[in-house]
Amino acid sequence: MRPRPRHVNERTALLHNKKIDEPTPFTASLLIATFVPAMGGLLYGLDSALIQILIASPVFSHTYASDRSALLNWNTLNWGYHCLLVIGVCHAAYKCDGVGRSRCLVWAYGVFALANGLMAIDAIGILVVARLLIGWASGILLVACPCMILELAPTDLRVCLVGFFGLLMTAGQLTAQVLYVAVGSTKAASSSKTAWTTLELDDVFFFIGVISLLLALFAYRLPEPPLWLAISLPKDVDDQGIEAVAFILDRDIHDPSVHRRWRKLRLESAGICSSVSVSPSSACSWMYLWHFRLFTCQPTQLLTSCALVLALQLTGADSWMKIYAPAILYAAGLHPPAAGPSGPSIPTEPSSPVLQPLIVSGGDSLFSHHTPDMPFNNPYLMDTTALALTLAAMAISLGWFAEHARRQSLLSTGTFLMALCQCTMGLLVYGGGLKDWATGTLLIHPQLRPILLLCVYFFIAVYAFTWKSAWLVTCIERFPTCHRGRFTGVIVGLFFMAQWLCQACPPWHLWFSPSFIYFFYGAMSFLSSYLISSRIYPLAI
């Protein structure tokens, strides 16, 4: 009978095993080894937000979205980027467990540097090629970076360091919004040139390329995670593992404690992948990802992580943060009054009518894509506000996680509070809102706006403190080291597929009521909270 693998060792940190007496000190080398992959989140967030701003700008639309370049418009760039992102995720899932995490980082950062250098050139053909390369590199970064951080972090700092990857991703998006609001918006509105470099973003892309090149050089000097080396290296080859342990512990390679730690890692990793007859070194085939033996290695972990990803999408948290919250903040008067390109100014205080327009923001409407013309910079100011609140709540959350890490109760409670918020919004829209079908906007009583703002602020704080900080590490920490890259690729691919499906889905809720989407998200949130707290067995602490 085949022995059952000892996956309990996988739930402890790489160099802080429960069977090892001394914990891993958080040295400067370990800080560098986790900071270099965490910077991948900053680059991805900054680049993705910048290109979306660039595509939405009137300068880009006037230059590259005309009839003579219909094949190279924003739809082509978006779909090409997303397709290459999925290909990059699959490639990382195929390579990460075979060749190593740090090698994948070197390759991804190198491609990222090359593509962003090409982005600084004002040519549409080069722009398309650069976006495809960036999509491929981004997919590799989204798989390799969390895996490497997780396998290097001590137990008590694992959530903080993996959450720091998501924190830097949010910081990158916020940086892009601030750059555009401070520099690019006036250029886009006043310039008579037609080149997209009018937005003065070419220097930003070039700077991102330089940073990516430096990170590639640093990643080249980083060792592989010792536990992955203990599983992958032949039994008679110990030099690389000893060097990796010495680097992380910041000690000499001839130190007896380094050799003792490496021998214990070798011993602990002996039965991790014993349930799979194919060795990690020979398991690097494309079809192996879909082979049934992949699911014999603790399938409950994969199903639980997939359920968490689906819960994140079905509860509307991601859509809320990207569309609903900025739109409500914008409509509630948190911006200076300004005249649109073809219409009068929108008042920030309630005027004589009982009902006031709630959602009008340059194409991102709660209930319709048909909205009046608005100033181009105001929606991005509201995105900046929402991202700043998210960043602050995530920073507080990661500091709290340094002492407490009960993710199951935290995710369940956060989902329940978000459900209350969404149901409250649904009641407000149902009782005090009116859909204006002529303009595609929602009218709501002005006395309800403070409650709407309170719900938005509360939702952002709860979402950032719970799901935004903990869902990624909760999903991937349960996987064994020998399959973590493949399983993480499945999780990341499922996340983006569910995200794009929700965004591409037509506004089906309009057939019922404008408030139906809130009640639907609230019901899904209540169901997710119940399943996480009672039906899913306790998550790793």
pLDDT tens for 280-326 read: 443 443 333 334 344 444 567 777 778 788 887 777 776 666 666 66
Q: In angstroms, rounded to a whole number, what is the distance separating the alpha carbons of residues 263 and 257? A: 10
Please give the pLDDT value at position 375. 38
Percent of the chain with pLDDT over 70: 61
Residue ranges of E strands in 3-157: none
Q: Please give the CATH number for the structural domain made up of 307-341+354-535.
A: 1.20.1250.20
**Mean of the pLDDT values across residues 234-254?**
79
Residue 49 has pLDDT above 50, yes or no: yes
Place of tokens 């006395």: 447
**Mean of the pLDDT values across residues 406-410?**
78
Please give the pLDDT value at position 12. 42
Confidence of residue 398 (pLDDT cuts 50, 70, 90): confident
Q: Which of 123, 105, 134 is nearest to 47 (CA)?
A: 134
Please give the pLDDT value at position 120. 76
- Three-state SS at 531: helix
Q: Which of 130, 108, 132, 111 is nearest to 119 (CA)?
A: 130
Please give the pLDDT value at position 111. 93
**Mean of the pLDDT values across residues 351-369?**
36
Considering the chain, tell me which residue range(s) the CATH 1.20.1250.20 domain(s) occupy.
39-222, 307-341+354-535
pLDDT tens for 110-128 read: 999 999 888 877 777 788 8
Torsion of the alpha carbons at 202, 496, 152 and 6, rounded to the nearest 10: -170
**Mean of the pLDDT values across residues 354-382?**
41
Please give the pLDDT value at position 2. 40
Partners of 339 in the beta sheet? 345
Please give the pLDDT value at position 38. 92
Residue 214 has pLDDT above 90, yes or no: yes
Do the bridges between strand 433-436 and strand 441-444 make them parallel or antiparallel, or are there none, so unpaired?
antiparallel
Whole-number average pLDDT of the chain: 71
Higher pLDDT, 164 or 185: 164
Residue 197 has pLDDT above 90, yes or no: no
Catalogue the long-range contacts made by 320-326 (C-beta closer than 8 Å, 24 or more residues apart).
320/422, 320/459, 320/463, 320/521, 321/386, 321/390, 321/460, 321/463, 322/364, 323/364, 323/366, 324/366, 324/456, 325/386, 325/456, 325/459, 325/460, 326/361, 326/364, 326/379, 326/382, 326/383, 326/385, 326/386
Please give the pLDDT value at position 9. 42
Q: Which of 370, 339, 527 is nearest to 438 (CA)?
A: 370
Residue 4 has pLDDT above 60, yes or no: no
Please give the pLDDT value at position 39. 92
CB 163 within 8 A of CB 394: yes
Quick count: other Cβ atoms within 10 Å of Cβ 86?
A: 18
Partners of 435 in the beta sheet? 442
pLDDT tens for 217-241 read: 999 988 888 888 887 777 666 788 8
Residue 523 has pLDDT above 70, yes or no: yes
- Three-state SS at 168: helix
Q: In angstroms, what is the C-alpha Rg of the chain?
A: 24
Please give the pLDDT value at position 341. 36
Please give the pLDDT value at position 76. 65
Please give the pLDDT value at position 142. 92
Q: Does domain 39-222 have CATH number 3.40.50.261?
A: no
Torsion of the alpha carbons at 213, 214, 216 and 219, rounded to the nearest 10: 180
Please give the pLDDT value at position 351. 35
CB 64 within 8 A of CB 124: yes
**Mean of the pLDDT values across residues 246-275?**
74
Percent of the chain with pLDDT over 90: 8
Please give the pLDDT value at position 109. 94
Please give the pLDDT value at position 474. 81
**Mean of the pLDDT values across residues 120-145?**
86
Tokens in use for 442? 């929602």
Kindly state the helix (H) or strand (E) to which residue 444 belongs, with its residue range: strand 441-444
257-261, 358-362, 514-518: segment of lowest average pLDDT: 358-362
Q: In angstroms, rounded to a whole number, what is the distance separating the alpha carbons of residues 432 and 128? A: 46
Please give the pLDDT value at position 405. 60
Please give the pLDDT value at position 106. 92
**Mean of the pLDDT values across residues 457-468?**
85
